[in-house]
Amino acid sequence: MTEREILLKKISTYKFAIIDIQLFLDTHPDDKSMLNKLNEYKKTVTPLVREYETKFGPLKKSDENNNTWLWVKNPWPWDTEDEK
């Protein structure tokens, strides 16, 4: 795996945990311990996303672009290698 893929896998692992907890909370909205867990994972993933976006380009379109529109940059999620 490339450095990009390793970092992205880490991010998607935390983001998946967040999605799964959020879905659990839809039917258990008052579960304090899961709410705490959710906030903990959100805090952990934020610096990882920042690191990824600085190195490899945006994951969401809301990010700042100065000289060039980085959103178009390869690879897209279904690409298998870091194509130019």
Partner 1 sequence: MFVYEKQLQYPVKIKITNPALAKLIISQYGGPDGELGASLRYLSQRFSMPLPELKATLTDIGTEELGHLEMIGAIVYQLTKDLNEKQIKEAGFDQYFVDHTAGIYPSSAAGVPFTAAYIESKGDPITDLHEDLAAEQKARTTYDNIIRFCDDPDVLDPIRFLREREVVHYQRFGENLRLLTDKLDSKNFYAFNPSFDKACFKKARNRKL
Cis ω before 75 (30° cut-off from 0): yes
Residue pair 12/45 in contact (Cβ under 8 Å)? The answer is no
Does 76 participate in binding partner 1 (rule CB under 8 A)?
Answer: yes
Among 5, 43, 55, 69, binds partner 1 (CB under 8 A): 5
Give the Cα separation of 23 and 73 in Å (integer): 31
Does 33 participate in binding partner 1 (rule CB under 8 A)?
Answer: no
Does 51 participate in binding partner 1 (rule CB under 8 A)?
Answer: no
Does 64 participate in binding partner 1 (rule CB under 8 A)?
Answer: no
Report the 10 Å Cβ neighbour count for 45: 19
Interaction site with partner 1 (CB under 8 A): 5, 8-9, 11-12, 15-16, 19-20, 22-24, 26-29, 57-62, 71, 76-78, 80
